[in-house]
Chains A and B, each alone.
Chain A
Amino acid sequence: MDFRLFCTLALNGIAMGVVYAMLAMGLILLIRAVGVMNFAQGDLLMFGAYVTSSLILDFELPLYLMIPVSFICFVVIGLVFMFTIYWPLRKASYPAATIIATMGASIILKELATLIWGALPRSLPPIITDANGKPGILYIGGIPLQWQYVLTIIVGAILIFLIHMLFEKLYVGKMMQAACQDSYAANLMGVPAIATISATYIIVVCLASVGGFMIAPIYMVRNTLGTLQLRAFAGVVIGGFGNIKGAIIGSLIVGLVEVFSTVFLSGYKDVTVFMLIILFLLIRPQGLFGGKIADKA
């Protein structure tokens, strides 16, 4: 393999890994905040990709208008998602109810997208194009890199960093962490559960939808984008369940393994990803990183 091919593949792998990491981070935030494994995460990504593509293609909004409008849409989607899928079921006597509801949400989102935008895939132009409307290429030292992948990495990294800062540095973030770690005590202290949970859902939808928007020009916008969730799930397992740093690194590994395996075993890229999960579950079931919270001996 020559060096140029290696660099291109590595870039693609990291870009996909960043998108998986955004999904994985959302998965963990929800598990920690409300104890729900969200099976509609990938479909939220799909829906976000449709919403943004619709704003660009149907409403023909320029990028500087499209970003705030789509953000408002994500907030609304997040709140609707929470108040329909989670809130009415949170005190159900059957705790799996909230998890099963997300499976239903996955079907609803897929069908809704098909009803609104049709079954045919839509193509979204890349954010940066060259003079002929082809995807823009960035040359570094003679190595061609697609701008869309570079931007995906930059946007994803900024978003993940901002959310990290929100949780670690801001007062609100600490309250949200407290509610995640011990909802009973947080409730007794007076942390407003509805606010922390809504904020978490909004963040999760933003993460997934921005991911969807960034990869839309690469994958086309179609209602099967939801299957990307499985890669994010693999990242979560590899990183150690519940650990955000681990999930990000795990997702990057999944992205890289996936891309490089297409070169060597073209038809078997899914097989390699899931082989990786099985290997991890066999050899290191706790994942790469132990939890931040350990049991004290």
Chain B
Amino acid sequence: MIKIHNLHSYYGAIEALKGIGLWVRSGKITCLIGSNGAGKTTLLKSISGAVDCKGSIKYNDSTELIGRSSQKIARLNITHVPEGRHIFPGLTVKENLEVGTINWHGFFGRMPYQKEMEEVFELFPRLKERENQLGWSLSGGEQQMLAIGRALMSRPRVLMLDEPSMGLAPVIVSELFEKITEINRQGTTILLVEQNARLAMKVSDYTYVIDHGRIVLEGESLEVRKDPRVIKSYLGKFAKSHR
């Protein structure tokens, strides 16, 4: 789906990514783990056109994403759920979902989006209950559901999730990750960025480990989980007992 080759990303003069190579496999869940400031979010922002970068990001082996605006990338049905959820606080749940349709609906379009909304409500019944509540008044877990639901409204082919577990209670996190695997089973390719490495590797098919702007390790998630360096740095010494 997305092949990244020798990607360098910059915030002004600071080089945040130093030559990344990564392959988001079609129909699979690919996860990217790493510590704070390793460059995980920057990588997602590079794909969605929100930071300056050099190198190559190929979509479906033909379309070059670098140099395109975020808006054009969104129209390719590559949808980015940003870190910290970024739902629209003064819009209702329903209106937030409507905004998700903009990439295929167009500014003055008149296409119906009831079907998409029904599907989102089916996946997250809690959002249906809160339909007419304003975004800011939702709990953290509901806001994350709304952020993912909004992304699903955009008919994503690639869904990029940035730290969906951030700040949520463990029970909510496991519920959310079940939904994420369900979205993947229905055919959406997922690129998942997580600090919760154990959980991310459990649900994903392929894992990349990023550190200081470089990929330091990659492989099938089942293999990477057993790598002693990963256990030491990201899973902690109790990793075995939890597996």
Contact = CB atoms under 8 A, between A and B. Distances in A.
A174 B71 contact: no
A134 interface: no
B74 A189 contact: yes
A186 B89 CA distance: 12
Interface string B124-163: 0000000000101100000000000011001000000000
B99 interface: yes
A281 interface: no
Contacts of A188: 48, 50, 70, 74, 79-80, 82, 86
A186 B105 CA distance: 14
Given A185-B88, A189-B102, 11 more contacts: A171-B109, A178-B91, A178-B95, A178-B99, A181-B91, A188-B70, A188-B74, A189-B74, A189-B79, A191-B71, A195-B107
A296 to B, nearest CB: 6
Contacts of B108: 171-172
A286 interface: no
Contacts of A178: 88, 91, 95-96, 99
B99 A174 contact: yes
A288 to B, nearest CB: 18
Interface of B: 48, 50, 70-71, 74-75, 79-80, 82, 86-91, 95-96, 98-100, 102-103, 105, 107-109, 134, 136-137, 150-151, 154
Interface of A: 171-172, 174-175, 177-178, 181-182, 184-193, 195, 292-294, 296
A184 B41 CA distance: 14
From A172, A190, A191, A292, residue with most partner B Cβ within 10 Å: A190
A296 B137 CA distance: 7
Nearest to B94: A174
Contact of B136 (A187, A190, A296): A296
A174 B98 contact: yes
Contacts of A191: 71, 99, 102
From B50, B102, B137, residue with most partner A Cβ within 10 Å: B102
Contacts of B70: 187-188, 190
8 contacts: A172-B108, A186-B99, A187-B50, A188-B70, A188-B79, A189-B154, A192-B107, A296-B137
B102 A190 contact: yes
A186 B80 CA distance: 11
B191 to A, nearest CB: 14
A90 to B, nearest CB: 14
Contacts of A172: 107-108
A181 B89 contact: yes
B91 A177 contact: yes
A189 B50 contact: no
A293 B89 contact: yes
A258 to B, nearest CB: 31
Contacts of A171: 98, 105, 108-109
A237 B95 CA distance: 29
B136 A294 contact: yes
Contacts of A177: 88, 90-91, 95
Nearest to B154: A189
